[in-house]
Structure 1
Amino acid sequence: MYYWADGSWMPLLATEWKTDQEAATLTVKLREGVKWSNGDDFTAEDVVVTFNCRRLAKGTVWRFLDKVEAVDDHTVVFSMSEPSIVVERYVIRNEYIVDRATYGEWSDKVQALLDEGKDMASDEWNALLQQFNEYRPEAINATGPYNVDPKSLNEARLTLVKNESSWLADTVKFDEVYIYNGETPTVTPLVLAMQVDYATHGFPPATEKAFVGEGVRILRPPIYSGPALYFNQTIYPFNVKEVRQALAYAIDRHENGTVSLGESGKAVVYMTGFSDNIVPLWVDDVDALDKYAYDTAKAEQILTGLGFTKGADGVWVTDKGDRMEYELTAPAEYADWSASAENVAEQLTAFGIPTSFRGVEFRQHPINVNQGNFQLAIRAWGSGNPHPHFSFVQDLYTHNGEAVTGAALAADPALGTQGPGMSFTLQQTTDCCGDFDFETNIDNMPQGLDTAAQKAMVAETAKAYNELLPQIPLWERYGNNPAMDGLHTCGWLPDDDPIYKNSPYADSFAVMMILDGTLYPCNQ
């Protein structure tokens, strides 16, 4: 796992690794003496099995890899199609290693298809993938310090029990960990009843105030992402960049973040599609970026310049004579996103663009957006990964599938079948950067090990995004995570400790403090 504050690593199953640019390889040394919970030794063959299964599932990492080989029991060589700085993250952090006893047969079947010259697009490959997706192992085999107690599984929670054979068994301090299921409305009463020690949900300001009133400590780590206002750009005038710019000026993002998540909803400043926390690391001339500070007069000036007018009822009318009146949707169960959507709807309505809010069941909402079944929607911008490439993938690929034609589509053909999404064309003409191909830049951004060259590509993409605003990033979410210091758990580090530069999701500081023994049980 990765320490965001200083760029160092907490080695787990991999103890050291090195990239050879000339050979285009990443060589990984594995921890010796590790046992699976079934008693088998952990070896390089398990890693090969894992990555063959990820290849079957068309995992993103295989956009960058040619093959994975076990050199000996504790050495694995990843051969890259070409060197890329993000391969380290994909290999060392993003993939969860599975065992050959459970998944070896699937790895063998993948290799057999490859030996026959079949690829990811073949019927045989997709048939095997369907079988794999339907596979349900009888038990989970683990190397980590905990395993799932299958008897504990229910709708409310599950129990992790210590895996006594784990190499971390003597380091972790808890014998059991309870994980509760449910969104914010379900978890809130559990926090107030002092039944949980830590939660990562987005709690409304009033709920957070109630927590503080009960003496609950609130942690505020950055999430490196947040909600954005998405446009269906098949609907005129959302396909006009000046209209999107005008709406960015018309929305008070500080108000929106505060209403939605209190101190933990921090208005986006740089409007680049990735976290303000890391923008200065990649863009030297941040002053050249338009910050779209709240300015309704500026918004009106832009719309008027396009030939838009306000009717007698105060509602904006496009140059084609159409009233600007829309519906905005968001996942109903996400308290912070729903509050954000309601506030955006209120602000746009006050500006002269009547906007109604409708909550959609949280599993259905991304499907609706991907199918283009929306006018305005709240979905995520950014990503909890240190390279901006990952954020731009979220911003411009995740809900924009039919616009993607290159390497991302080749690696995941399903991306092009889920629907048009926001229908933002990835080849654009810009004032800042001339004819600009987002897809080429995003796909090439992580290539090679030359950080300076990557920085230039990131900066250009940031400038183009800042000008075109494919979506409007509203605020960056910071945690408002209740941490019950001294309830059942002790050892939480001080608020100013650099561990809290880590997101509570990607490279979770709570998980890391459990794994290294910092957190320990008390008052039980």
Structure 2
Amino acid sequence: MTLTPDRNTLLQDLSRRRLLKAVGFGAVGVAGANVLAACAGGDNASNAVAGQFTGVYDYDIDAQTRNVAVEDGALLMNSVYADLFLPAGGFYNWKTHEWDYLLMENAVWEGDDLIVSLRPGLKWSDGTDLNADDLHQNFAIRVLEAPAWSIGFPQITELEKLDDLSVRARFDNPFPGIELQVIDHRLFSKSTYGDFGERAIAMVADGVRQGDDEHNEFNAEFIAFNPTDVICSGPYKFDPAQTADARITLVRNEDGYQGTEVAFDEVVIHKGDNRQASLLIQQGEVDYSTLATSAADQQAFQSVEGLRWIEHPGYDGCGLMFNYQKKPELKDVRVRKALAHLLDSDQIGQVARGEAYTRVNYYAGLVDMQAEQVFSQEELAGFATYDLDHDKATELLEEAGWTKQDGIWHLPDGEPASFEVVGVVGWGDFELTATQVEEAWNDFGIQTTASNVPADNPWGIWAAGDFEVAVRHWGNPEIPSYWGAFQMNFLVENARTGDTPGQDFDLKVDSPSQGEVDLEALVEVAKTAPTEEEQIEAVRTMAIVFNELLPRIPVWTYKYLAPALEGVRVAKFDDDHPASQNQIYMDNHVILSLIQGDLKPVE
């Protein structure tokens, strides 16, 4: 897709304050020249090395470890490039809900047992065989280390190595989708983790699980472990001589999976945060980036020859989360709906994200793409919409007992209505969403102030309920199963305890069409029911209830626009890849195309 000036003319209609904020997050000025020179990393990459693919990511060569088994804090492990040197067992297709196996040959259910088999002939970059010993050790470590609340590894009760390539994992009450994290697991080598792996196998066989004394001792050692090298299984491996502060070069790993099939000899990853990445893209140094771009960046990129946009769908969005304890007037569904009708979601999305957003059509708690998979178009036509409508907002507030005096809305008890809406410092799209909500509600006569919570731990603030209205995500970008959206919408930051009340939203609700519904129980049914039909029926009920009761307001949906450069190092990006509906950070189809050898260099 291309960005057109016509869409961006909307920015001209904004207030001066909002426009300056929108531009300020991405405009490139004179001060950027020094940053650009610093992050170019030495040789100018525009003098393209034959067979070189370039990306960008904000890594820290000194602070980040080489303990790739503990992904958070490990070098490049939270980037999309991790698949190039440590592929997972399989690549999930978020649209078809099917697997494209990578290191695994297949995964087959036999009753309560999942039989997982590796491809034959795989090797690690240190020359050792990648076999069932790696698989067995990996699975045992994950049984101990995976969070107890997660789905997959914690439900494994037995592990057995069957032959040189296969492992049997027995599950406690398996259900459709329980295997997702197991197949999607990124394998690490027994050469590095063999001692931990053998200990984990013995502990799991003895019934030790997360939180037991034996595990606590194991975990302390495992987290502190910091090997000197990353042993790789994918088509690329680290080149120690080209691993530096400014850029990291991954070179072809011929013995690795797809090592002789990938079309690029090396992958260069420049160091850069969002702003530095934008500067590198404008200079033509980066072939593909998944880092966030502002509205102003998107405009600036139009002058880069060969620059195009690859659109990745969003499985979550930005909206408003309410604190029902601090603002009990929000318990009236008419008030929530009225507040939604005061927001121009297209304008808010455009200012906050430029072209990188989509509007919300169905208000189902699922992103629209998922709603269309679960419901027919005829059914979705019956869903309520909450577009900008001041007359409807007035009608709803008056029905709720609110009155307007001297241009200010008052609660039924006569007190002036007021809200504080909080974004997050440095999260530009959240900050801009908060300020626009402030303007919209103030313009209607509801006293509103916008502020921002610190970026170091907004999750703790949300969980503690230290807010009145928070700009917060809805939907779920990490769980491809439909129930993930409702886990986020209903359960995350909603513990309803003294220390962590969060939203304090009562999950036992009365729906106009569904009657009395226990939403927490329905999330569990949607997650663990023994058939897909039962899971989907629970999802459908929750989506209908969400649309009727609007427990939080979806404002806009993420659309990820990844800048990509054609004609310098990459010949062409695939316009119609089978996995193009994948989540950008979890199962990126561009990276899959590179691994498959379908992405080609300029000849």
TM-score, structure 1 normalization = 0.88
Does the CA-based 8 Å contact 2:251-2:265 persist in structure 1?
Answer: yes
Does the CA-based 8 Å contact 2:137-2:200 persist in structure 1?
Answer: no
**Cα separation, 1, equivalents of 2:447 and 2:213:** 49
Correspondence 1:392 to 2:486: yes
Partner of 1:514: 594
Aligned to 2:288, which of 198, 201, 204?
198
Correspondence 1:92 to 2:172: no
Correspondence 1:275 to 2:367: yes
Partner of 1:441: 522
Does the CA-based 8 Å contact 2:320-2:470 persist in structure 1?
Answer: yes
**Cα separation, 1, equivalents of 2:452 and 2:245:** 23
Q: CA deviation at 1:261?
A: 2.3
**Cα separation, 2, equivalents of 1:127 and 1:377:** 39
1:216-295 matched pairs, under 5 angstroms: 216-236=307-327, 237-284=329-376, 285-295=379-389
Aligned to 1:337, which of 416, 430, 437?
430
**Cα separation, 2, equivalents of 1:319 and 1:129:** 55
CA 180–453 in structure 1, closer or farther in 2 if over 3 Å, else same = same
Q: CA deviation at 1:349?
A: 2.1
1:339-358 matched pairs, under 5 angstroms: 339-358=432-451
Q: CA deviation at 1:442?
A: 1.3
CA 245–149 in structure 1, closer or farther in 2 if over 3 Å, else same = farther
Aligned to 1:36, which of 124, 137, 141?
124
CA 349–200 in structure 1, closer or farther in 2 if over 3 Å, else same = farther
CA 174–341 in structure 1, closer or farther in 2 if over 3 Å, else same = farther
- SS for the counterpart of 2:320 is strand
1:89-128 matched pairs, under 5 angstroms: 89-93=180-184, 95-114=185-204, 117-128=207-218
**Cα separation, 2, equivalents of 1:181 and 1:328:** 34
CA 125–243 in structure 1, closer or farther in 2 if over 3 Å, else same = farther
Does the CA-based 8 Å contact 1:382-1:394 persist in structure 2?
Answer: yes
CA 489–79 in structure 1, closer or farther in 2 if over 3 Å, else same = same
Deviates more, 1:326-335 or 1:47-56: 326-335
CA 195–321 in structure 1, closer or farther in 2 if over 3 Å, else same = farther
Q: CA deviation at 1:425?
A: 3.0
**Cα separation, 2, equivalents of 1:324 and 1:519:** 56
Q: CA deviation at 1:460?
A: 0.6
Does the CA-based 8 Å contact 1:491-1:520 persist in structure 2?
Answer: yes
Correspondence 1:374 to 2:467: yes
Partner of 1:468: 549
**Cα separation, 1, equivalents of 2:114 and 2:428:** 42
Deviates more, 1:106-115 or 1:419-428: 106-115
Q: CA deviation at 1:8?
A: 4.2
Aligned to 2:504, which of 410, 423, 429?
423
Q: CA deviation at 1:346?
A: 1.9
Partner of 1:297: 391
**Cα separation, 1, equivalents of 2:403 and 2:246:** 53
Partner of 1:412: none
Q: For residue 224 of structure 1, what is the amino acid of its counterpart?
A: Y
- SS for the counterpart of 1:290 is coil
Q: For residue 346 of structure 1, what is the amino acid of its counterpart?
A: E
Partner of 1:9: 99
CA 248–36 in structure 1, closer or farther in 2 if over 3 Å, else same = same
Partner of 1:413: none
Deviates more, 1:445-454 or 1:187-196: 445-454
TM-score, structure 2 normalization = 0.77
Partner of 1:459: 540
**Cα separation, 2, equivalents of 1:249 and 1:339:** 19
Partner of 2:10: none
Does the CA-based 8 Å contact 1:203-1:336 persist in structure 2?
Answer: no
CA 308–452 in structure 1, closer or farther in 2 if over 3 Å, else same = same
**Cα separation, 2, equivalents of 1:102 and 1:166:** 16
Does the CA-based 8 Å contact 1:82-1:448 persist in structure 2?
Answer: no
Does the CA-based 8 Å contact 2:162-2:168 persist in structure 1?
Answer: yes
Deviates more, 1:132-141 or 1:121-130: 121-130
Q: For residue 381 of structure 2, what is the amino acid of its counterpart?
A: D
- SS for the counterpart of 1:479 is strand
The percent identity for this pair of structures is 29
Q: For residue 182 of structure 2, what is the amino acid of its counterpart?
A: V
Does the CA-based 8 Å contact 1:491-1:518 persist in structure 2?
Answer: no
Partner of 2:419: 326
Q: CA deviation at 1:73?
A: 1.6
**Cα separation, 1, equivalents of 2:228 and 2:526:** 41
Does the CA-based 8 Å contact 1:441-1:457 persist in structure 2?
Answer: yes
Q: For residue 289 of structure 1, what is the amino acid of its counterpart?
A: F
1:177-196 deviations in whole A, cap 9, x for unaligned?
Answer: 23344443232212112221
Q: CA deviation at 1:96?
A: 1.3
Partner of 1:51: 139
Q: CA deviation at 1:155?
A: 6.0
**Cα separation, 2, equivalents of 1:157 and 1:398:** 37
CA 150–241 in structure 1, closer or farther in 2 if over 3 Å, else same = farther
- SS for the counterpart of 1:238 is helix
- SS for the counterpart of 1:220 is strand
Does the CA-based 8 Å contact 1:203-1:335 persist in structure 2?
Answer: no
Q: CA deviation at 1:247?
A: 1.5
**Cα separation, 1, equivalents of 2:444 and 2:217:** 53
Partner of 1:159: 249
1:460-499 matched pairs, under 5 angstroms: 460-494=541-575, 496-499=576-579
**Cα separation, 1, equivalents of 2:393 and 2:201:** 58
Q: CA deviation at 1:12?
A: 0.4
Q: CA deviation at 1:277?
A: 0.6
**Cα separation, 2, equivalents of 1:504 and 1:63:** 26
Does the CA-based 8 Å contact 2:312-2:580 persist in structure 1?
Answer: yes
1:13-49 deviations in whole A, cap 9, x for unaligned?
Answer: 11122224xx222222211111112222111222222
Does the CA-based 8 Å contact 2:525-2:534 persist in structure 1?
Answer: no
1:83-129 deviations in whole A, cap 9, x for unaligned?
Answer: 32112322222x21122232333344445545555443434434433
Partner of 1:410: none
1:293-346 deviations in whole A, cap 9, x for unaligned?
Answer: 32222222222222222342x333222444333332223333333322322222
Does the CA-based 8 Å contact 1:49-1:98 persist in structure 2?
Answer: no
**Cα separation, 1, equivalents of 2:491 and 2:220:** 24
Q: CA deviation at 1:508?
A: 0.3
- What 5-or-longer segments of structure 1 have no aligned partner? 404-415
Q: CA deviation at 1:521?
A: 3.1
Q: For residue 248 of structure 2, what is the amino acid of its counterpart?
A: L
